[in-house]
Chain A
């Protein structure tokens, strides 16, 4: 298969079951909301060492938020519910509670819950107030600019992490351009995030390592500098590879994101140096969700 001169490999992306939550963060203006979200989602690129994969899903207009203020929706993914329960209150406490004017709300309804104000309330040292409104419980913690309003908890749902595709090209400029176009297109899809910096990663990894303590290490088959000394997946004209990793709430959202992302990347085309699109998998043995490139592009 070829789109705009770019070869689409006959392969699939292998994705895994994860646990996810959505938070709605609001503030007096969009700038504070963005800054709090930047802190909250910092160091949240990969579960390999960050504990969770977390990023802004989209910005929210005033009429979309519970308190009528501008905000952002944040999606977070972890390998287990327990890990989410550990990471989310920690980040909420250090990054949102601390940021001027912010409030924090649940962004998803589910039976299983991740604590927010339930644990953060103790910062109020006895001056915290609880308010039950429309069946939801909010904590009000006195802080130096007024009150930090924080919902008791948020929902936790089963989700999928590790949807991906790789862009392979002749020039760095072309691959960068394709990558940015892809990430921009994926940003429009609801229910997905691309957790890496700028939505892309250059360090595609394989499972395990020659060093026993490492769970993941560089994927030498896609490292152009190792062509000729390892069994490489790249030919002589393929000098640069970037990967977009996608976490999503449903398989359909990931498939949609992969489709929109690949099509946007392919619009950059062979003339700009993009030659091939492929996807990362582990032979289909580790993850139960397989996204075949040909199927998502159909």
Chain B
């Protein structure tokens, strides 16, 4: 049976759940969970949520959430957390394992500094997805984030490892100062990859092949990236198998209730072979060896 946290009354203007480690709920009973302190100002979990169920299936569900609820799943390292609704900032920050499924949208800095585990977001994501928190040297360092909708600015900023997949469009400044890792975008994006040192960006629907120039707005500053050349195929089977696995997990999380958000990346795991892939390398201004695959 699943542990359920149901919002009991009108929400406060803001609630930060970063002090609640959701993996530790797995070894607690209902009374213990109710006694956990959110913060001195807001009091206990039991003051705001009706808590019921058990944790035998290692799952917990938050019902009635909204963009006022920040820091959900901070430092989580096991189990499954399902959120029915939107959440605010810092979802899954510094996450070490487990799975978070969001049936809604998330605000900024989701997956910031995460090291492992998976975050599946049904709707849209705000700015700084998988990026660093203020003053931190690196963003995401492992794990996987999938987004069924669109994503805000500075996605994958200083990302070091792991994978981010976004079905829809991504706003500007994606993968700036990217150190390593993989980003897959199903929609359009612009002004990405500045200062990129290593790492892989896959633009699944870039429309590059067969056109004189990229149909995206000039994706990378002129001269900073190499021209588009045929992509060597050696790593692609492994890379797309991983994309297929990741998006398969996303689809499994949402296919019953939100099939429309299983999106444009669904067929990439198998269908990549039917397309011609080109590759551009950069950012040369910083001696970078990053790569952008387009088809």
With A133-B242, A134-B245 known as contacts, the answer to whether A147 contacts B235 (CB < 8 A) is yes
The verdict on A148 contacting chain B, using a C-beta distance below 8 Å, is yes
The verdict on A132 contacting chain B, using a C-beta distance below 8 Å, is yes
- CB neighbours of A133 from chain B (8 A): 238-239, 241-242
Interface residues of B in 218-241 (CB under 8 A from A): 232-235, 237-239, 241
Contact of B234 among A127, A130, A134, A140 (CB under 8 A): A140
Are B198 and A148 in contact, with the CB atoms below 8 A?
Answer: no
Are B234 and A103 in contact, with the CB atoms below 8 A?
Answer: yes
With A129-B198, A130-B180 known as contacts, the answer to whether A67 contacts B238 (CB < 8 A) is yes
Interface residues of B in 182-206 (CB under 8 A from A): 182, 198, 200
Interface residues of B in 133-163 (CB under 8 A from A): 161
The verdict on B289 contacting chain A, using a C-beta distance below 8 Å, is yes
Contact of A131 among B232, B235, B245, B289 (CB under 8 A): B235
Closest to A138 in B: B238
B32 to chain A minimum Cβ distance, whole angstroms, is 34
- CB neighbours of A93 from chain B (8 A): none
Main secondary structure of the interface of B (DSSP, over half): mixed
Contact of B161 among A132, A134, A138, A149 (CB under 8 A): A132
Are B232 and A68 in contact, with the CB atoms below 8 A?
Answer: no
- CB neighbours of A127 from chain B (8 A): 289
Q: For the complex, give the distance between the alpha carbons of A146 and B277 in Å.
A: 14
The verdict on A69 contacting chain B, using a C-beta distance below 8 Å, is yes
Q: For the complex, give the distance between the alpha carbons of A132 and B159 in Å.
A: 14
- CB neighbours of A148 from chain B (8 A): 234
Q: For the complex, give the distance between the alpha carbons of A209 and B232 in Å.
A: 55
The verdict on A66 contacting chain B, using a C-beta distance below 8 Å, is yes
With A129-B289, A130-B180, A132-B161 known as contacts, the answer to whether A146 contacts B234 (CB < 8 A) is yes
- CB neighbours of A68 from chain B (8 A): 237
Q: For the complex, give the distance between the alpha carbons of A127 and B281 in Å.
A: 12
Interface residues on B, range: 10 to 19
- CB neighbours of A147 from chain B (8 A): 232, 234-235
Are B238 and A69 in contact, with the CB atoms below 8 A?
Answer: no
Contact of A67 among B182, B232, B234 (CB under 8 A): B234
A120 to chain B minimum Cβ distance, whole angstroms, is 14
- CB neighbours of A129 from chain B (8 A): 198, 289, 291
Are A131 and B200 in contact, with the CB atoms below 8 A?
Answer: yes
- CB neighbours of A134 from chain B (8 A): 241-242, 245
- CB neighbours of B237 from chain A (8 A): 66-69
- CB neighbours of B235 from chain A (8 A): 131, 138, 140, 147, 149
Q: For the complex, give the distance between the alpha carbons of A137 and B235 in Å.
A: 12
Q: For the complex, give the distance between the alpha carbons of A57 and B232 in Å.
A: 29
Closest to A140 in B: B235
Interface residues as binary, A112-155 with B (CB distance below 8 Å gives 1, 0 otherwise): 00000000000000010111111000101000001111000000
- CB neighbours of A131 from chain B (8 A): 182, 200, 235, 238-239
- CB neighbours of B241 from chain A (8 A): 133-134
- CB neighbours of B161 from chain A (8 A): 132
Q: For the complex, give the distance between the alpha carbons of A103 and B234 in Å.
A: 8
- CB neighbours of B291 from chain A (8 A): 129
- CB neighbours of A66 from chain B (8 A): 237-238
Closest to A126 in B: B289
Closest to B230 in A: A146
- CB neighbours of B242 from chain A (8 A): 133-134
Q: For the complex, give the distance between the alpha carbons of A67 and B232 in Å.
A: 13
A130 to chain B minimum Cβ distance, whole angstroms, is 7
Q: For the complex, give the distance between the alpha carbons of A147 and B239 in Å.
A: 14
A258 to chain B minimum Cβ distance, whole angstroms, is 38
A70 to chain B minimum Cβ distance, whole angstroms, is 12
- CB neighbours of A140 from chain B (8 A): 234-235
- CB neighbours of B200 from chain A (8 A): 131
Closest to B242 in A: A133
Are B238 and A149 in contact, with the CB atoms below 8 A?
Answer: yes
A64 to chain B minimum Cβ distance, whole angstroms, is 13
Pull 25 A–B residue pairs with CB atoms less than 8 Å apart, ordered by A: A66-B237, A66-B238, A67-B234, A67-B237, A67-B238, A68-B237, A69-B237, A127-B289, A129-B289, A129-B291, A130-B180, A131-B235, A131-B238, A132-B161, A133-B238, A133-B241, A133-B242, A134-B242, A138-B235, A140-B234, A146-B233, A147-B232, A147-B235, A148-B234, A149-B238
Q: Which 4 A-B residue pairings sit nearest by Cβ, starting from the closest?
A: A146-B232, A67-B237, A149-B234, A147-B234
- Apart from A129-B291, A131-B182, 20 more pairs, CB < 8 Å: A66-B237, A66-B238, A67-B238, A69-B237, A103-B234, A127-B289, A130-B180, A133-B238, A133-B239, A133-B241, A133-B242, A134-B242, A134-B245, A138-B235, A138-B238, A146-B232, A147-B232, A148-B234, A149-B234, A149-B235
